[in-house]
């Protein structure tokens, strides 16, 4: 069966922490970049300041480390642009201010497709993942009409309609993408998050098993699965 999903020229991932994108969708993004030259922007909402068990680590140093790691991970698969909003890890709240920030990033970078955390995922315990998903979706809705955050629309910035959204970390997928050609890139990207996955034994094997298991339903050797939403 032909794949009815047209690969976009521009895509964006909006997510809570450095590394969410690499567990969630960097196989699909890597495959689009390789095969279609898709231009990809990452919008990273927090800087993962609390992602450490080292009692000597400070939030500031952790932020610096994790932003650097996310940049390296993105560059490993050919991502061109990175926006770090710098919010505090673990403390995200759904505010109009955050919605406006995400809306502005969408209007500036003009993606056709947006990936974000699935805020409806059952038993999603991390508050940042829920808030990032809401902010991604609410930002998409706000970006499309000129009367939302009209103060942004000066100096040539225009409203922007995102037509398609893919939610990662979902329990309820309705679309699968073959990542067998980009799985090595996804694993390289994940490994760039040294402060998070460095030293985990059998990590690459687990990631390969996960991709294989996700693909099995559709007879794909390796896949990522998403909840796909088309916006009218």
Which residues are at the interface with Zn ion (CB under 5 A)? 16-17, 20
- Give the shortest CB-126-to-Zn ion separation in angstroms: 6
Pick 41 or 196: Cβ nearer Zn ion? 196
- Give the shortest CB-214-to-Zn ion separation in angstroms: 18
Pick 115 or 148: Cβ nearer Zn ion? 115
Pick 18 or 139: Cβ nearer Zn ion? 18
How deeply is 123 buried, as exposed, middle or buried, from its count of CB atoms within 10 A (0-12, 13-18, 19+)?
exposed
- Give the shortest CB-178-to-Zn ion separation in angstroms: 25
Pick 143 or 192: Cβ nearer Zn ion? 192
- Give the shortest CB-25-to-Zn ion separation in angstroms: 13
CA angle 1, 3, 206 (to 5 degrees): 100
Pick 128 or 138: Cβ nearer Zn ion? 128
- Give the shortest CB-216-to-Zn ion separation in angstroms: 25
Q: Nearest residue by C-beta to Zn ion? A: 17
């Amino acid at each position: 069966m032909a794949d009815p999903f047209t690969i976009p020229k521009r895509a964006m991932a909006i997510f809570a922490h450095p590394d969410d994108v690499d567990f969630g969708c960097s196989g699909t993004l890597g495959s689009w970049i390789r095969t279609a030259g898709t231009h990809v922007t990452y919008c990273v909402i927090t800087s993962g300041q609390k992602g450490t068990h080292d009692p000597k680590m400070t939030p500031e140093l952790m932020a610096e480390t994790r932003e650097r790691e996310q940049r390296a991970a993105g560059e490993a698969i050919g991502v061109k642009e990175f926006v770090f909003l710098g919010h505090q890890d673990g403390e995200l709240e759904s505010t109009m201010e955050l919605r406006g920030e995400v809306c502005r990033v969408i209007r500036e970078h003009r993606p056709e497709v947006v990936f974000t955390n699935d805020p409806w995922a059952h038993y999603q315990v991390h508050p940042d993942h829920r808030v990032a998903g809401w902010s991604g979706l609410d930002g998409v809705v706000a970006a499309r009409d000129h009367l939302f955050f009209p103060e942004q629309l000066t100096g040539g910035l225009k409203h922007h309609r995102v037509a398609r959204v893919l939610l990662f970390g979902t329990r309820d997928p309705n679309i699968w993408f073959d990542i067998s050609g980009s799985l090595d890139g996804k694993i390289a990207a994940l490994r760039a998050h040294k402060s998070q996955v460095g030293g985990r034994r059998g990590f690459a094997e687990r990631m390969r098993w996960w991709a294989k298991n996700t693909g099995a339903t559709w007879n794909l050797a390796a896949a990522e699965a998403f909840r796909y939403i088309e916006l009218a």
